[in-house]
Structure 1
Amino acid sequence: MTFPNFHQYGLALHTSSSQLGLSLSDFAQDTYTKTWDLDRELSNYLHQYLLDFIDQKTWQHFKFIAVAKGPGSFTSSRIGVVTARTLAQQLNIPLFGVSTLAAFAWFHQDKYDINSPIPVQMKASRGQLYGAIYTKNTENTGLKTILEDSVMMPEEWTQKLQDLQIFSQPLITPLALGMTANSVLELADYDWQQGKRPHWSEVIPFYGMSVVT
């Protein structure tokens, strides 16, 4: 049997929190996202759920893979990135690494105007937090980074927001983030449309100082 539409789909994995999220799309009519609350059982079920998720499609249907690279759980982020790197290497297709914070910002992007700052924060360890700031691109094709993912004390974060004259309340990530897998996929697709084709070896986890190890 032949498949005339090989390499028409993107596939995203989000493993950086207690919730596994998978998303696939042809960016036209077929988009599907599913989540599982696996917590520490991720390594036991990821591969089986992934195979079940792609269902009738073969691996040759995918033109790229995207993965949430962190910040988040140290172990879970590593599992997701290693899995995504292995798949991209075996299939010889691009791999996009997307910030967990960027995906969360994009998940809520409808609440913000073009060029409005979107500050995002996530709890880290030792009283610290992760912070990043984005804006929606003028063309409404993804995000522009104002402040890269950073680890800092709360007072440092407050000062950065003041220095940048950002007065909107930061988005605070929940414990479960798998539902933003489609945001990972959409942000990767914007880069794909701009001609970016990152090699799998370029994607490494952003560990920082995560809470869960």
Structure 2
Amino acid sequence: MTNTDKKYGLGIHTSSPELGLAITDFAEDIRWETWNLGRDLSTHLHQKLQEFIPPQTWQDLSFIAVAKGPGSFTGTRIGIVTARTLAQQLNIPLFAISTLAAVAWSYKNQNQDLSLQMPAQRNQLFTAIYQLEKMGINPLLEETLMTPEAWEETLKNWQNSYQLIKVENGLGKSVLNLLELANLEWQKGKRSHWSEALPFYGQHPVLERRTHP
């Protein structure tokens, strides 16, 4: 099969204890599945990938989309490393998509700005504000770490009307949104190299581990 025959996108979401995998040709063929693996996610990721891909093959893939965080440090790291390795070996583009952006895309029929917050370590919040467009997401406030007080002040001074979305665990199911956002970038002609896919941890991993001895 030549590169021009490839037509599938693969989504990998490991930024929460819930692993999400999806594969689609963005037409009629679409499959997705989630597994609540908890701390075993890193152990079972490669096995789940091998079991999930058939009846498609690795050579059917046009690109890969991966969740870049914020979220679990260990889960995000293993997802990024795995996706980078696959994209390098297959010589295909890799799109690293924000965990918060993937959740926001679930609300793509909304006309308001979307303000997302997700619990972080040490009583802080991962935050972002997006404007949804037909061909993707426009970040009005990039993913950033804030104290609850700073976030409250940001929203208080926000000029536009917005919908507040509180993001919890169980993010694997947003893997389809991950793929849709990557496909929109693909349609725009973007071909992200695997080396450009970097994680967004938001917090220092050493400090994060200290809170979970």
Confirm or deny a common fold (TM above 0.5): yes
Partner of residue 191 from structure 2, selected from 177, 188, 197: 197
Question: What amino acid maps onto 1:85 in structure 2?
Answer: R
Paired with 1:80 and 1:36, the residues of 2 have a C-alpha distance of: 14
Tell me, in whole angstroms, the C-alpha distance in 1 between the residues paired with 2:162 and 2:107: 14
Of residues 130, 133, 142, the one that matches 1:134 is: 130
- The alignment partner of 1:207 has SS state of coil
Superposed counterparts of 1:1-213, under 5 Å: 6-110=5-109, 112-113=110-111, 116-137=112-133, 140-209=134-203, 213=209
How far residue 185 of structure 1 moved from its aligned partner, in angstroms, is 0.3
- Contact 2:113/2:163 (8 A) holds in 1: no
Any conservation in 2 of the 1:6–1:60 contact (CA below 8 Å)? no
Aligned pair count reads 207
Letter in 2 for 1:72: G
The residue type paired with residue 122 of structure 1 is M
* Deviation at residue 132 of structure 1 after TM alignment: 0.2
Q: Render the CA deviation track for 1:93-143: whole Å, top value 9, x for unaligned.
A: 000000000000002323x12xx2011110011111010010111xx1211
The AA in structure 2 aligned to 1:171 is: I
Q: Are 1:16 and 1:177, in contact at CA under 8 Å, matched by a contact in 2?
A: yes
Give the drift of 1:212: 6.5
C-alpha contact (below 8 Å) 1:6/1:62 kept by paired residues: no
Q: Distance in 1 between matches of 2:3 and 2:113?
A: 42
Residue 168 of structure 1: how far off its partner (Å): 3.5
Instruction: Give unpaired runs (5+ residues) of structure 2.
Output: none
SS at match of 1:170: strand
Query: Is the 8 Å Cα contact of residues 75 and 212 (structure 1) preserved in structure 2?
Result: no
The aligned amino acid for 1:131 is T
CA–CA separation in structure 1 for the residues paired with 2:4 and 2:188: 21
Structure 1 residues 199, 53: CA separation in 2 closer, same or farther (over 3 Å shift)? same
Q: Note the C-alpha offset of 1:207.
A: 0.7
The residue type equivalent to 1:121 in the other structure is Q
Q: Deviations over 1:132-162 (max 9, x none)?
A: 010111xx12111100000010111111112
Instruction: Using structure 1 for the length normalisation, give the TM-score.
Output: 0.92
Distance 1:158 1:166, change over 3 A: farther
Report the AA paired with residue 18 of structure 2.
Q
Q: CA RMSD in A?
A: 1.8
Pair 1:164–1:79, CA change in 2 (3 A): same
Structure 1 residues 10, 195: CA separation in 2 closer, same or farther (over 3 Å shift)? same
Alignment check: 8 A CA contact 2:119 2:168 kept: no
**Mean Cα displacement is larger for which, 167-176 or 69-78?**
167-176
Provide structure 1 residue ranges, at least 5 long, that are not aligned to the other structure: none
In 2, Cα distance between equivalents of 1:19 and 1:90: 26
CA shift for structure 1 position 3: 8.5
